[in-house]
Structure 1
């Protein structure tokens, strides 16, 4: 097996151009007119989208509406462990577990965190526990048998070498390198993980979670504000192309590794160019949120009074009851009752426990399908999510 390393490539190559442009956009991530409270909601929305995409790549065809309803119910139950309720369908459970694994990354990984065997195994454990069709007999443990990947010519290494192979991969991931190599490291690590195939099942989902964790550890994604930088959207744009490029790189030759890196980073560049628009608060309000609210009003999900009130939430970011005095007529008690009804329907939520300032709920909630439809209209959704958006 070839050692894991950054292949040599020309400064004038397409890959070099993509790396340079991604680094430039990376510097723009911290410059935004969109308030952090809105980014917090966008983060939840894109986290849900990413989980759906990752599951759909593996063949999960659960409808977005069913997923949103399940995720909303799971949130309402305020579960104390990272799991999904047993009464959910297997398809919904799979996505809820991916959500929980993503939250685990956001809570435990930060810039400079070492990526360890324990982290990889924990991501796998969370992602597959309790599933039937897409579960694993030994959640959180490397496989103890040899496997064959259906539909692929690649034969993963024998189980006896997995610990050593994964150690080499982790050493590569944690190796100190110049910052300009960060995303190349992400691309190469993603392919090598799939090539090793360390688990009996759930390797694709775990690999995509690990890829995001690596990017967080590199400081590429600020988990407190903006979670849109994630290559899963690239894979969801064309599932078959994703698998073709992965398989082409299985030779581990420098030329095919460069082709894989160019594919992945080129897709991320296209995605990031679109997502950077979300750093413009006027764009978020005028092009995304208000049209989504109008869609919900036309569908009868919200009343005209609620539509006018929720527009204030969209524009002001955080709202107090007094801010609604021109829309919700009557006493302060009437306005408080109005907000309570919005909270109960998960249209808005307090910005923090015990606070009397509130914000719009983008996901999961009744507005989520309408926001996704507007994102589709704005050409933000990859193909794998567009079927029923």
Structure 2
């Protein structure tokens, strides 16, 4: 949260947040980025588009949860799922957080729909757009800061602030700092350099602190838009940053440091600490893409689908969860939607029994269909994630709400 600035030397010239990209050890950073890019592209190629669409929806909800958790204002994933169905809590604080979570999901979806190029996504216009898309959906009372000030969606701050020990640039100099960032970042990079640039832009744009409030959320939305060219929406660096929250804040703070002597680059800020931040960011991405690769390994997914059906048959004591459902579910997960008749045939059961199995899976959200008689595709309901995609979103399967 921003507070009125104290008497600290002012940042009012763009050279004061150089270097915007490291001039040293770029080969080392590229070597670290290369396997992340390769693994991310392999992962996208191995997922059916229909399953990818469901995973993207899950990742959006997950991003909303984790981004708000970083800010210390998260709400339980069950509350988010309810809010997406316009079911808001009677408790004002929970309802407010639900509205913020839904706004984040919708802002992310809107940014994705724009299909911004690398250059467009890295431009500061997309950061202002992310902030506007997030906060314009909220009522004025939900946009009010703790100091009682009204937050204007997508508008640069009009006063000077201090953020803990950091003194952001003066408000009058913000356009200059953003223009300098655009000169350096908004280019059609190759994917390895794009990952490095995304890391640098995430820090330096947060350092500028362009908005009165909501800078962290807007920067993470912006980074998500940039990283979509690498992630394909299948995984998110936000999950990794939230799960390493203390390290995330520490590296951001250290990258704020002034240059430490003649061997620490030529800019006003520390190049050594910017490189360390990039290494942390790339390592977080590596961890996330490797994790999702394990989650979507087809052989392991088959075993988890088998385990889910077995567990539900035991827990629910219903004849409509049968082992014959395992094969068609595996088929839908790996190869995409099929007709209801095909699903029934794949079970090998009699027509009437198979239809009951199909109806149960649809009722529980393990299968999804857009029409009452249309094709079915794989669903990822919250209460199945603990078995289907263990540890991806563990908070979602907790039976204890956070409020």
Aligned equivalents of 2:51 and 2:166: distance in 1?
A: 44
The alignment partner of 1:139 has SS state of coil
Aligned equivalents of 1:69 and 1:328: distance in 2?
A: 35
**TM-score, normalisation: structure 1:** 0.78
Query: What residue in structure 1 maps to residue 307 of structure 2?
Result: 291
| 1:233-280 Cα shifts (integer Å, max 9, x gaps) | 221122111111101001231111001101111111122112123453
Q: How does 1:27-176 map to 2 (within 5 A)?
A: 27-32=41-46, 34-71=47-84, 73-74=85-86, 89-112=95-118, 114-115=120-121, 116-128=123-135, 129-130=137-138, 132=141, 137-149=151-163, 152-176=164-188
Aligned equivalents of 2:102 and 2:276: distance in 1?
A: 33
Highest Rg: 1 or 2? 2
The alignment partner of 2:320 has SS state of helix
Q: State how many pairs are aligned.
A: 358
2:382 equivalent to 1:368:
yes
The alignment partner of 2:377 has SS state of strand
Query: What residue in structure 2 maps to residue 324 of structure 1?
Result: 344
Aligned equivalents of 1:298 and 1:338: distance in 2?
A: 15
Structure 1 residues 12 and 140, CA, compared in 2 at 3 Å: closer, same or farther?
closer
Aligned equivalents of 2:214 and 2:377: distance in 1?
A: 36
Residues 120 and 206 in structure 1, CA contact (< 8 A), matched pair in contact too: yes
Give the root-mean-square deviation of aligned CA atoms. 3.5
Aligned equivalents of 1:118 and 1:294: distance in 2?
A: 50
Query: What residue in structure 1 maps to residue 12 of structure 2?
Result: none
Aligned equivalents of 1:93 and 1:313: distance in 2?
A: 37
Aligned equivalents of 2:375 and 2:396: distance in 1?
A: 37
Structure 1 residues 331 and 182, CA, compared in 2 at 3 Å: closer, same or farther?
same
**TM-score, normalisation: structure 2:** 0.76
Deviation at 1:55, TM superposition (A): 1.0
The alignment partner of 1:220 has SS state of helix
| 1:144-189 Cα shifts (integer Å, max 9, x gaps) | 122222xx21111111112222222233331244543111100000
Residues 41 and 230 in structure 2, CA contact (< 8 A), matched pair in contact too: no
Structure 1 residues 30 and 240, CA, compared in 2 at 3 Å: closer, same or farther?
closer
Query: What residue in structure 2 maps to residue 282 of structure 1?
Result: 299
2:204 pairs with one of 188, 192, 206: 192
Structure 1, 308-317 or 1-10: larger mean CA deviation = 308-317
2:277 equivalent to 1:260:
yes
2:220 equivalent to 1:208:
yes
Deviation at 1:231, TM superposition (A): 1.3
Aligned equivalents of 2:79 and 2:296: distance in 1?
A: 30
Deviation at 1:228, TM superposition (A): 2.5
Deviation at 1:307, TM superposition (A): 5.7
Structure 1 residues 229 and 4, CA, compared in 2 at 3 Å: closer, same or farther?
farther
Structure 1 residues 168 and 117, CA, compared in 2 at 3 Å: closer, same or farther?
same
Aligned equivalents of 2:231 and 2:290: distance in 1?
A: 15
Deviation at 1:387, TM superposition (A): 10
Aligned equivalents of 1:344 and 1:385: distance in 2?
A: 18
Residues 120 and 210 in structure 1, CA contact (< 8 A), matched pair in contact too: yes
Deviation at 1:221, TM superposition (A): 3.0
Residues 156 and 196 in structure 1, CA contact (< 8 A), matched pair in contact too: yes
The alignment partner of 1:29 has SS state of helix
The alignment partner of 2:68 has SS state of helix
2:330 equivalent to 1:315:
yes
Residues 173 and 189 in structure 1, CA contact (< 8 A), matched pair in contact too: yes
Deviation at 1:103, TM superposition (A): 0.9
2:231 equivalent to 1:221:
yes
Aligned equivalents of 1:107 and 1:343: distance in 2?
A: 28
Aligned equivalents of 2:253 and 2:367: distance in 1?
A: 45
Aligned equivalents of 1:231 and 1:172: distance in 2?
A: 23
Query: What residue in structure 2 maps to residue 8 of structure 1?
Result: 23
Aligned equivalents of 2:93 and 2:73: distance in 1?
A: 18
